[in-house]
Structures are given as structure tokens and as C-alpha cells.
Amino acid sequence: MRRAAYRFLTTWVLDAPRESVFDAVHEVERWPDWWRGVESVERLGGGDGDGVGSVYRHRWRSVLPYTVRFDIETTRVERPLLLEGRARGELEGTGRWRFAASDLTVVTYEWNVQTTRPWMNLLAPVGRPVFVWSHNAVMRRGATCIARRLGATLVAAS
């Protein structure tokens, strides 16, 4: 069965220091504490001092009644500018967080994945808009939640 491919680009603009935003995103194991929709993140091991090579098992649940599980290996860390990882499991592909600062911190997240669950691939021709909406809802929650965690103002999220 052919896999469905998705390309997402999310932007958050926060009135918070870039280093604080970077640290909150980099502390992946703490996401379930503040990001609604992240059910669990478990460190499976590996990694250097910045976390390159570390592997985390994720379990996410969106507003729809299904859970997605995948592992992410951190492949690149450039503090406080960039985080990259490779996903394997029910979602496979790459994710890249970028952090830019001026008066505000602009975060962009590129998530380029394919689904491996047969039912998701089977439903993709008609379900794609719902899956995209679900992903966007989880990311909007993340924007709101990170702002709350940092005591910051969320200026924009898309």
C-alpha cells in the first residue's frame, strides 16, 4: 500500500526570549507536562551533551479519537537556532525547529512525514483534510501552551 505524504509548516511568534523558547522545545521529555495532546515522551537512550543521537518515543493524541506513536532521533542541535530529528514508526520523516529573534521570537517547525498505518493510508484520499486539520489543532495548542509555560504572550500562530 502506498504511503500518504504530508508537509507541514507551523509558525509561532512569542514575546519571550529565544533561549527560553529553545530550551522548552529542546526539553522533549517535559512536553507532556505542558503541551496538551502529547500523552507521553520516553527517552530510549543515546545522545551527546546537546542530545544529538538521542531517541525519544512519542505518543500523541489530537482532538480526533486516535493516538499516533513514533520515535524521533535527534540528528542536529545548534543552540539556540535549530533542532532537527528523524521520525520512525507510525509517522516516518523529518522535523526541523528553527528559532529566530529580534524583538520577538519566531519559531518555525517543518514536519515532512509519511503515514505507515494502513488505515491512515487507506483513508488519505478523503481523510487528508481532517488529518491536516488535526495536526494544525495540535500545533495551535502547542503555541498556546508554550506561551503559558513561559509566562509569555503568543503574538501569532499559524
* Domain boundaries, given as residue ranges, for the chain: 5-157
The per-residue pLDDT for 135 is: 95
- Mutual orientation of helices 18-26 and 118-150 as an angle, nearest 10°? 140
**How confident is the model over 96-123, as pLDDT tens digits?**
999 999 899 999 999 999 999 999 999 9
Asked if residues 101 and 119 have their Cβ atoms less than 8 Å apart, the reply is no
The confidence score (pLDDT) of residue 62 equals 87
Q: Which pTM was predicted?
A: 0.95
Backbone angles phi, psi at 31, to 5 degrees: -50, -45
Q: How many CA atoms lie within 13 A of 17 on its CB side?
A: 4
Give the rounded percent of residues in the chain with a pLDDT score beyond 70. Answer: 100
Q: What is the pLDDT of residue 51?
A: 94
Determine the Cα–Cα distance for residues 71 and 92; give it in Å rounded to an integer.
9
Collect the ranges in the chain with pLDDT lower than 70: none
Please tell me the CATH superfamily of domain 5-157, with its number. START domain (3.30.530.20)
